[in-house]
Each structure stands twice: as structure tokens, then as C-alpha cells.
């Protein structure tokens, strides 16, 4: 996720590669980040913290305590902390880094890499108006940014944080169907992806309810309603709702570990 954000911000012109420093535990991950972004890296979190105005915490929840330990004593007093760590509340980060710190909790998604991300943003109590605007602009530069109360960040995780994986699975499955019907794999994947992109753009640009747009595709006794019937029989709606619910609950569990 860190690479997607860094590269997204660089492509959006928000930061130059030279303004970003990446960190990870292994040489392999640092090389990958350097090659992906053109930015430098360091294994020394304390050194990075000493010189950073904005720090993005992007580790798995179970490694957050160690990561915070490694920067606590070196952070600039006015540093802005952004955590994209699933499930972990701002209060826990304040416990780890100091309760007067400016902390922002964000749930982005990997399409930030291509400027089409979705992020939910919740501000801690010590984030100034100026910093709030900066963070909003930062995440808007790589897609859609939504300021939400912190108690909804796990639900943002459930829909848009995880959502790209749901969409990739749908693209793959639609393409499998087309391959079964004789279309070549590459063309099938492009057609499925472009279909989801086109449908998404229609929802966003026409402002019509997705049900109305769906109805407009279903001709009476036609082909689409035959396909929709199969999806309804398979419980696709309930499956998608359950996926968002399960992921939201899992985020909540991860934050308590």
C-alpha cells in the first residue's frame, strides 16, 4: 500500500521522488520500493523520523507496536502522522506515539496507484485545519477522498479498502465465462475490466441509481435478465453484502490485537 501511495502521489505531481523516503525491514522490500518509485529508502526508522514532516505508517497491524517504538523518541514535535493500518484506532496510535500528536487515520485502496483510489479519512483531535486541508488534498490527488467519523473507517475498509480485490475477482470470473464461450483470454479480461469501468463511470456521471441503470440493460425476455436470474439464484447480492460485513468485522478484530 505504501508503494501505491508513494507512486500515486509522485504521478499526481504532489511529491517529487526525492521528497519521499521509504522504510521496510528487508533489503528486498526496500529495493522494490526504490525501483518502483525512484525514491530513496532507509532501514533506520529513527533517522527517517528525525527529518520527516509527514510520516505514513503502513505496516500490518501486528507490527505497528514495533514500528511505533522505533520512531517515538525521534519524531519532530510537529510531525503529522498518517496511519493506513487496518483496524487500529487513533487512540492506540496516540498511546504509542504521544497523546498530543497530530494523527490521521486513513483507509485508502491500491487504485491510488493509478489516480483512481478511494480513501476514508478520520482526523485525530490535534490535527490543525491547515493539516486537515493538506491531507484532504493529498488523498484527493490520487482519487476520491471522503472525511468520515472514525467509527466508520472499518466499514470503509470493508467496502473500498478491500473492494479492489472483490472487483478483480469479478473481472477474473467474468473473463472465465467469456473464455468458456470461446473468447480469447486477453480479450476477455480487457472486456470484463472495461465493462466494470464503463458501468462505474455511468453510476458516477449520470447520478442515476444503479438499479435504474441495471433495469435499462434488461430487455423484456432478453439475454441480460437471463443472466441476472442466475446471479440472483446464486445469492450474489447477499454474498457481496456479507463480504463487506465480514471484512469490516475483521478490521475491528485486527485493531484489538
Ligand X SMILES: NC(=O)C1=CN([C@@H]2O[C@H](COP(=O)(O)OP(=O)(O)OC[C@H]3O[C@@H](n4cnc5c(N)ncnc54)[C@H](OP(=O)(O)O)[C@@H]3O)[C@@H](O)[C@H]2O)C=CC1
Ligand Y SMILES: O=C(O)[C@@H]1CCC=N1
Task: Give residues in contact with ligand Y (CB under 6 A).
Answer: 86, 157, 161-162
Cβ atoms 141, 9 nearer than 8 A:
yes
From CA 224, how far away is CA 207, in angstroms rounded? 22
Q: Where are the beta strands (DSSP E) in 58-207?
A: 80-83, 102-107, 117-123, 143-147
User: What does each C-alpha distance from 254 to 62, 91, 250 come to in angstroms?
Assistant: 8, 15, 6
- In the complex, least distance from residue 56 CB atom to ligand X, rounded to whole angstroms: 9
Residue 29 near which of ligand X, ligand Y, none (CB within 5-8 Å, type-dependent): ligand X
Residue 45 near which of ligand X, ligand Y, none (CB within 5-8 Å, type-dependent): ligand X
User: What does each C-alpha distance from 38 to 6, 116, 150 come to in angstroms?
Assistant: 10, 21, 33
Q: Which of 10, 1, 22, 3 is nearest to 141 (CA)?
A: 10
- In the complex, least distance from residue 240 CB atom to ligand Y, rounded to whole angstroms: 16
- In the complex, least distance from residue 54 CB atom to ligand Y, rounded to whole angstroms: 21
- In the complex, least distance from residue 83 CB atom to ligand X, rounded to whole angstroms: 8
Residue 24 near which of ligand X, ligand Y, none (CB within 5-8 Å, type-dependent): ligand X
- In the complex, least distance from residue 7 CB atom to ligand Y, rounded to whole angstroms: 17
Residue of this chain nearest to ligand X (CB atom): 86
**DSSP tally for the chain: helices H, then strands E:** 12, 7
Cβ atoms 36, 143 nearer than 8 A:
no
Q: Which is nearer to ligand Y, 106 or 162 (CB)?
A: 162
> 22 forms bridges with which residues in the sheet?
41
**Residue 24 counted as an annotated binding residue:** yes
Q: Interface residues with ligand X (CB under 6 A)?
A: 1-2, 23-26, 29, 45, 58-61, 63, 66-67, 70, 84-86, 107-110, 161
Residue 100 near which of ligand X, ligand Y, none (CB within 5-8 Å, type-dependent): none
Q: Which is nearer to ligand X, 25 or 237 (CB)?
A: 25
Q: Which is nearer to ligand X, 88 or 188 (CB)?
A: 88
From CA 107, how far away is CA 240, in angstroms rounded? 19
Q: How far is CA 107 from the centre of its chain?
A: 5
Binding site feature residues for NADPH:
45
Amino acid at each position: 500500500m505504501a508503494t501505491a501511495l508513494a507512486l500515486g502521489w509522485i504521478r499526481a505531481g504532489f511529491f517529487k521522488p526525492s521528497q519521499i523516503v521509504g522504510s521496510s525491514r528487508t533489503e528486498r522490500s526496500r529495493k522494490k520500493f526504490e525501483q518502483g518509485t525512484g525514491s530513496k529508502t532507509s532501514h533506520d526508522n529513527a533517522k527517517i523520523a528525525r527529518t520527516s514532516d509527514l510520516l505514513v505508517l503502513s505496516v500490518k497491524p501486528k507490527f505497528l507496536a514495533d514500528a511505533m517504538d522505533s520512531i517515538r523518541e525521534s519524531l519532530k514535535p510537529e510531525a503529522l502522522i498518517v496511519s493506513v493500518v487496518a483496524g487500529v484506532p487513533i487512540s492506540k496510535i496516540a498511546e504509542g506515539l504521544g497523546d498530543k500528536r497530530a494523527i490521521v487515520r486513513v483507509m485508502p485502496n491500491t487504485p491510488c496507484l493509478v489516480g483512481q483510489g478511494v480513501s476514508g479519512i478520520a482526523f485525530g483531535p490535534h490535527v490543525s485545519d491547515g493539516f486537515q486541508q493538506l491531507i484532504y488534498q493529498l488523498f484527493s490527488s490520487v482519487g476520491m477522498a471522503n472525511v468520515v467519523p472514525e467509527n466508520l473507517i472499518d466499514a470503509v475498509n470493508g467496502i473500498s479498502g478491500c473492494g479492489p480485490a472483490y472487483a478483480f475477482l469479478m473481472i477474473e470470473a467474468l473473463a472465465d465465462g467469456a473464455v468458456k464461450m470461446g473468447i480469447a483470454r486477453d480479450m476477455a479480461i480487457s472486456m470484463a475490466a472495461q465493462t466494470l469501468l464503463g458501468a462505474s463511470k455511468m453510476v458516477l456521471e449520470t447520478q442515476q441509481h444503479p438499479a435504474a441503470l441495471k433495469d435499462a440493460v434488461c430487455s423484456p425476455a432478453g439475454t441480460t435478465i437471463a443472466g441476472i436470474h442466475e446471479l440472483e439464484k446464486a445469492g450474489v447480492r447477499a454474498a457481496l453484502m456479507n463480504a463487506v460485513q465480514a471484512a469490516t468485522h475483521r478490521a475491528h478484530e485486527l485493531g484489538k490485537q
